[in-house]
A and B are shown apart, each in its own frame.
Chain A
Amino acid sequence: MTVIVTSPKPGVTAPAVSADTVDLGNCDREQIQYIEAIQPHGALLIVEEPSLRIVQYSANLSAFLGLAGAVWHGQTLKQLLGEDSVRELQKTLTGSDLERTYLHLLTLSGPNRHDAAFHLFGNRMDGLLIIELERAVPNPDQKNALSLHTLHNALPLLKRPGKLQDFLQRASDLIKTYTGFERVMIYRFEPDGSGHVIAESREPTLEAYLGLHYPASDIPEPSRRLFQHRATRFLPDVDYQPVPLLPTWAEAGLERPVDLSFSTLRSVSLMYSVYLKNMGVKSTLVMPLLINRNVWGLISCMHHSAPRYLAYPDRIPAELLAGVITQWLREYEDGDYARYRERLQHSLIRQAEQAADQTSLHFAAEAIARLDLLNPFDADGVAVIMQQSLILLGCTPTENQVRQIADWLSQHSHTLYHTECLARDYPPAAEFGEICAGLLAIVLPKASENVILWFRKEYPQEINWAGNPDKPVVQSGEGALRELHPRNSFALWKQITRGRSRNWLVCELDYANELRQTLTDIILQRLKLVGDLNPPPETRQQELDSFFYSAAHDLREPLLGMRNYVQLIHREEAGTLSDKNAKRMDTLLQLTYQMEETLKSLMWFSTTGKEALQLETHKPGDLIREVADMVILAYPRLDIRIEIQSDMPTLPCDAAQVKTIYQNLIRNAVKYNDNETRLIEIGYYPGSGTPVFFVRDNGIGIPAEHHATIFQLFRRLHSSDAYGGGAGAGMTIVQKAIQRHGGHIWLDSTPGRGTTFFFTLTPSPPQGTAS
């Protein structure tokens, strides 16, 4: 096979591409519009105007026209075609704009007045007129030819309402039926230049390529550019013998090869023909689908069993059909998009209503978390984080991974974020594998607490190619070009798109953004509402504390008044009161003490724990002695013995609170004790780094089931008048004071034998450091 590749464009010093050096990587450098060769099913002339002198001509010119061999360079068209034909041609030429367009100029009979006639096509390029000749022979396979009335009948069927996909499938079926090619594929290009087979009609024996994707390099940029110029590329026989132009551009005195971008006969790229051969294709007809001069896609007709020549009149209906498909394509595509957008919009409204119906933030958040955010949306998975709760639907990373993404998003103060390749912005995503390549996320108020994330799988994971992916790659073809095969293209495309998802559509971003705004409004409204009625818990606790304090304080004053009056009456009327009433007055007095005790506890609770600890180094021994003496004084009629270990350690603590701790523990040890002599032992164990203090008594003991209850506020184990009464707050106060120091309290007790309370006043050392 002759290698038909470039003479590089002057000024561009790219190395020549040959069969041995060409590969998919240098495809883009092959400048096929400058190939100085054509296919043999026609002949080509390049002439100067207005002299119509022939500058270059295809080597097959004489044979094609049935003339004796001659050197046509330097001769005129008149000498080649005869005066009459040239006169007719000139008439057409003056009335046609041939700059950058390719037109059928006229149909003429051969110079020998043969039956066989020729079609003349032409365009102007670089100041030269390029004329192509094709034989006007009827297609021998007439039954497949599209006639105008069958085309007319087919169109209403083609344009049925529905999806783009279905429309294109009908279109490819129609083209296959009327052109007689064994395979018709419709390709669609992505913005990045890659493409895929979106519709396919084929003979059942042929391998399916529907769904096949290939990288941008498969149809290189120069080829795609050429499709913008030329309506149709026709290759009747892939094994054709290329026909060179005579003489070469240099010999013809040209500055460079003539640009054959608009030529139908132009020899094809080596790459392309090898590709087709590797696929087992003998003939192709390719028509671009152009929208606004951009190549949206291609209609590619292929014949596998034999070369297939479709004469010019038979190609016209196919080209018209391609034109109609192009026109309607946009409508179907817009329709698909509009339907999808409408579906999103519809669900958006429903979702907003569901969330807005809820009166509280909590319920609104719950409603949002329950929204169907996956069904209307073209995503593989969705994660909703609302008020700390997390819901995963479909294909998503793990809970932990999702939370980490949410944290990352809130750190970057994104409100709307989208990517086709999360790992590029967020490297940990590389670990998610194919599950989550694309991410679309909206961040609602309160940052990482409220986030909605949609995930899209890696693109190749979504593809369902109709072909058999396990079939071994066909190794035909020559040299480095044997790799050129759709199957390899697909593999390469998969490699290129690894870790990337399909692009997010504008309507999807719009939907997400609108959803974000709606939900944000709802959340903020609820937050405000909730904020008015319910301050944050800390504030509520503070208010409660200050309420308790002033209530207790204000109750205490009248209580003291009552008590003083009781005492006053009792004293002044001592002689006149009956014994019964005197006793009642006593009880009344006791009740005021009991109530005062409760009020004091309330005041203690509402203030202690809020103020900072006054940590100073104290000798607890001194503090304990002081407290012990006070307790002994309070029970002058009881025999109380308090033994305090002499070497109590010094440590930083709040003196007032330590006194409170011991006061309550000692008082309880005295109160809950039936012994003649109340023995109270106070000391400490060095412990493992933290001294453990203890208060031991020989009292009534505490049953094990009550060990937890005793620390509850206002819970008493005995009736309020047994064991000297009390508010039932003592142990709660003790526990709280200890906890404020970072320590903790526990006890060991045998009912009937006594109780030992243990506590620490410093945080325990971390586990493992204890010896």
Chain B
Amino acid sequence: MNTIQNILIIEDSDVDFDLICWGLQQIGVECPLIRGKTAEEALERLTRLANDPQQASGLPEFILLDIKMPGMGGLGFLKKIGQAEAPLTAIPVIMLSSSSNPADITLSYQLGAAGFLRKPTTLDGYAEKMGEVMKLLFPS
């Protein structure tokens, strides 16, 4: 876990971003947490990094992605990433949404999401949920 360069968190809600960070801290994640406030902003950053070999090492270890956001939103982002070039398609994306709509879940997996997790409703839930994320990505 310590080898994680950075994590990209695409989340429009300040509170939720804050709580996700808190949750990650609780389980011992210390790497830089980079925030994208919108899917567009995050996509632009990722594309810039991927196209510049000098900065390619700045690409995130994985992405935590909200669905409901202004603009293209989480599902739109997922679609763009799926159509992108090699280094970007390799980055795992985990959905973190308050949606329980089965269509959102199905579509997310169809678009290549590595996992779909419900946003916690309690504070402790955030720490637990981040633990699940790590287990999902790093089963060992």
Binding site for B on A (CB under 8 A): 557-558, 560-561, 563-565, 567-568, 571
Contact = CB atoms under 8 A, between A and B. Distances in A.
Interface of B: 13, 15-16, 19, 22, 98, 121-123, 126
A568 B125 CA distance: 12
Contacts, number: 22
Given A557-B98, A564-B122, A571-B123, 10 more contacts: A558-B15, A561-B19, A563-B122, A563-B123, A564-B15, A564-B19, A564-B123, A564-B126, A565-B15, A568-B19
A384 to B, nearest CB: 53
Nearest to A567: B123
Nearest to B123: A567
Nearest to A596: B121
- Most B CB atoms within 10 A — which of A557, A560, A567, A568? A560
B48 to A, nearest CB: 31
Contacts of B122: 563-564, 567
A667 B61 CA distance: 47
A585 to B, nearest CB: 13
A567 B18 CA distance: 13
Nearest to A572: B22
Contacts of A565: 15
A568 B121 contact: no
A571 B19 CA distance: 13
A558 B19 CA distance: 13
A568 B22 CA distance: 9
A440 to B, nearest CB: 60
A561 B22 contact: no
A497 to B, nearest CB: 75
B121 A561 contact: no
Contacts of A561: 13, 15-16, 19
Nearest to A560: B121
- Most B CB atoms within 10 A — which of A557, A561, A564? A564
Contacts of B15: 558, 561, 564-565
A563 B22 CA distance: 15
A220 B100 CA distance: 92
A568 B13 contact: no
A558 B98 CA distance: 12
A32 to B, nearest CB: 96
List the 3 closest pairs (A to B, CB-CB), nearest first: A561-B15, A567-B123, A564-B123
A557 B119 CA distance: 10
A560 B118 CA distance: 14
Contacts of A558: 15
A568 B121 CA distance: 13
Nearest to A558: B15
A564 B22 CA distance: 11
A573 B109 CA distance: 40
A571 to B, nearest CB: 7
A565 B122 CA distance: 10
Contacts of A564: 15, 19, 122-123, 126
Contacts of B126: 564
A339 B14 CA distance: 83
